[in-house]
Structure 1
């Protein structure tokens, strides 16, 4: 699901770039998603191993910083110049509840970015020490730009903020185009990093070794990685609702893996060393986040259903 979201994000960034120069409606979002999926597939085929990313990790950092700086500056400028905004949650009582629950899943989805430095850190030794350093950095210093963009964007545009923030900002065309391009390229790299553990597992399982240009190895990557991303691209174009997929991903993956599984594993590993209050605390976390995961899943499915009826499949949002 998270990779479907990245492909939607890549397509949204590509369309936003096109609209800046030609707003004629010819290049629709599903076409942009297809282009984004193709680029992701080509990148996955050309980068055989996670360790082969090399300089692309440096580019990834530059792309992220460029997007953060541009989004923050343009949002801040708009916020200072805009009239009073509406911060009310749209919809009626029930709709608001589902929106809030979906937003909580979106929030935890954003923390999936902690996987990027975590996975990257495993490239060199000592793996565990580097991984822990990366996680500590991500969830302290790393969350600051995330919240900076999120809160500034909402402050600047209120409840009318677009799911893809750069569709809301105003500024020089070349600046917005640069931010959109960095978002597109970062989506391609980030998707590959998230998908790499699966790629590596399949390579190991089916004995893919030796030269990356070996005919067998190359054809395997084309079929397996290309097929996987083709399916994700189809789903992304079929239901191109970025915010909804973020909610669904947060509900069915981040809540269980980050909160439920972690507390359960800690409880099992340390059960003889924990007192009753500590055990109760971890059990409470397991129960609470299980309920949140279920509620957020229902909310996300409802949002996808509502948007599907509103916009139709293969919508040009």
Structure 2
């Protein structure tokens, strides 16, 4: 829907003879522009930081052999990125072609004048579902911890007689799904409220991506492989490439941290809640 909306906006603007500006955003100095570009690396890292779910997904496969498990994960990664990368690049290029350097961080705002209200409602609905699904995946560890903590509190407060144990187990299974849904909806709903309430949430997301997601997702795996037994036995060219990639991503993460901190400080005086 983002692709269709951006294409419609591009067609309407070309039909009306309007031209988008593709240069540096007006009013920005070279330093501000550079810091904005640097901060964007942190936002990308935040969006692609999947290190927290990979072990859980890998463990859930249930394969007895390591090679079988690795092959399944390789297929999953290949299939995912064959769809993700072209889609994101197409959206980025179409939205930039349609709106130029004036495109906002929230693309739906730019699409509003060019699509119908019904189209926007469906897009909002899909975006909300997507947000909740991603939140349910990326916060899986937190959900499990909360559930276990509640279970411990429940067990410490109640002592079940042996004759009633079977009945209580059946009741626990019945309420398990409702408990999971309640925890996830409450957790993600509160996170959504905080994200909407804090206008600088994007800057903090970029900072989090720079100092948290970048090392764990794009640097540590290379270091971990090179230090492992397989890495030490790997060809020297592969080890060298891994160190180079780790250095590149470490540099990008450092630039993203500097850019996000700069923008937080520069925009601190203009922040207002829910704006």
Query: TM-score of the superposition, structure 2-length normalised?
Result: 0.72
* Equivalent residue number for residue 209 of structure 2: 250
Aligned to 2:249: 289
Higher Cα Rg, which structure: 2
Task: Please report how far the alpha carbon of residue 276 of structure 1 lies from its aligned counterpart in structure 2 after TM superposition.
Answer: 4.5
Are residues 177 and 206 of structure 1, via their aligned partners in 2, closer, same or farther at CA, if it must alter by over 3 Å?
closer
* Alignment of 1:111 onto 2:55: no
Q: Tell me the alpha carbon deviations over residues 267-306 of structure 1, each in whole angstroms, 9 at most, x when there is no partner.
A: 1113421454443433333333223212211211222333
My pick for the range that moved more, 293-302 or 147-156, is 293-302
Answering whether residue 263 of structure 2 is matched by residue 303 of structure 1, we say: yes
The answer for unaligned runs of 5 or more in structure 1 is: 1-66
Output the CA distance in 2 between the equivalents of 1:226 and 1:177: 21
Change (3 A) 1:156 1:238: same
The answer as to whether partners of 1:79 and 1:157 remain within 8 angstroms in 2 is: no
Trace 1:26-175 onto structure 2 (pairs within 5 A).
67-78=1-12, 80-81=14-15, 83-90=18-25, 91-112=28-49, 125-126=62-63, 128-169=70-111, 170-175=114-119
User: 1:133-162 CA distances to partner (integer Å, 9 max, x unpaired)?
Assistant: 221112223211111111111111011111
Ranges in structure 2 where 5+ consecutive residues have no aligned partner: 64-68, 153-168
Residues in 2 aligned to 1:305 and 1:228: alpha-carbon distance in whole angstroms: 29
User: How far did residue 124 of structure 1 move?
Assistant: 5.2
Mean CA deviation greater in 180-189 or 271-280: 271-280
Asked if 2 retains the 8 angstrom alpha-carbon contact of 1:70 and 1:175, the reply is no
- Measured in 1, the distance between the counterparts of 2:60 and 2:6 equals 32
Give the superposition deviation at 1:104: 2.3
State the match for 2:218 in structure 1: 259
Assess, with a 3 A threshold, how the Cα gap between structure 1 residues 117 and 134 changes in structure 2: closer, same or farther. Answer: farther
- The TM-score normalised by the length of structure 1 is 0.64
How many matched pairs? 246
